[in-house]
Amino acid sequence: MKILLVSDKESPYYWDYYQPGRLSDIDLIISCGDLKSQYLSFLVTMGRARVLYVHGNHDQTYDLRPPEGCDCIEDQLVKVNGLRILGLGGCPVYSGGPHQYTERQMARRIRKLRFQLWRAGGVDIVVTHSPAQGYGDGEDYAHRGFACLLPFLDKYQPQYLVHGHVHLNYGAQRPRTLCRGETTIINAYERYVLEIPDQPWPPPGGGGGKEQPCRTFGDI
């Protein structure tokens, strides 16, 4: 299964210089926020894949003009081809704007998802805008990560956490992927193709675990 991850910057490859067929082998598209509504609508129109999204801190226009044909998964757990995918958009408060949360507010959102997680038997992919604290976040106040995501990852051990918010071109040599325990953490800035080998899902044993932790299959 090929999943196109996008965030924070409209990719010229899929937008300005798009050519027919570039999305033909993509099975699912996941947006981690801060992208134009028209861009997501374009992707769902030109491809054959469903588009799931969460809000970034610059997605105020979605309230007036949400991406057409796309599915918001904020505070929801959805299943796609057996994959359990959970959405938790937004970032830590830094200016008081929309889609910004305190640690307490984000922790409360996570607690409210316990029943959905229990009913689904866990989660395979967590979609956020802000990264977890210490795992791909920035040193500046506006780009720090959520500390409350760390115990969440330790408890549920999703196979992947995908996020945006921190641009890979901010200057420092930032890694595209990181690991925490059984979870591979991916910065979806601009575009990243995640290829999950075909297998019964979740794998035998449940929990969405994997035999080789923190291994990714994809490219930019």
Q: What SS3 state is found at 26?
A: coil
- Predicted confidence band at 201 (pLDDT cuts at 50, 70, 90)? low
Q: Please give the single-letter amino acid code of residue 145.
A: G
Q: What is the number of structural domains in the chain? A: 1
- Measured from the Cβ of residue 100, the count of other Cβ atoms closer than 10 Å reads 17
| pLDDT per position as a tens digit, 35-54 | 999 999 999 999 999 999 99
Is the peptide bond prior to 66 cis by the omega test (within 30 degrees of 0)?
no
Domain membership of residue 159 as a residue range: 2-219
Q: What are phi and psi of 163, to 5 degrees?
A: -145, 175
- Predicted confidence band at 206 (pLDDT cuts at 50, 70, 90)? very low
| pLDDT per position as a tens digit, 145-157 | 999 999 999 999 9
Please give the helix or strand (H or E) that residue 162 lies within, else none. strand 160-163
pLDDT for the residue numbered 163: 97
Is the peptide bond prior to 202 cis by the omega test (within 30 degrees of 0)?
yes
- Predicted confidence band at 115 (pLDDT cuts at 50, 70, 90)? very high
- Measured from the Cβ of residue 143, the count of other Cβ atoms closer than 10 Å reads 19
pLDDT for the residue numbered 203: 53
Reference 42, options 8, 11, 77, 63; nearest CA is: 11
59 pLDDT higher than 80: yes
Please give the helix or strand (H or E) that residue 39 lies within, else none. helix 37-46
CATH number, position 118: 3.60.21.10
Mean pLDDT of 186-210: 71
- Residue 184 tokens, joined: 């591979």
5, 54 contact by CB (below 8 A): no
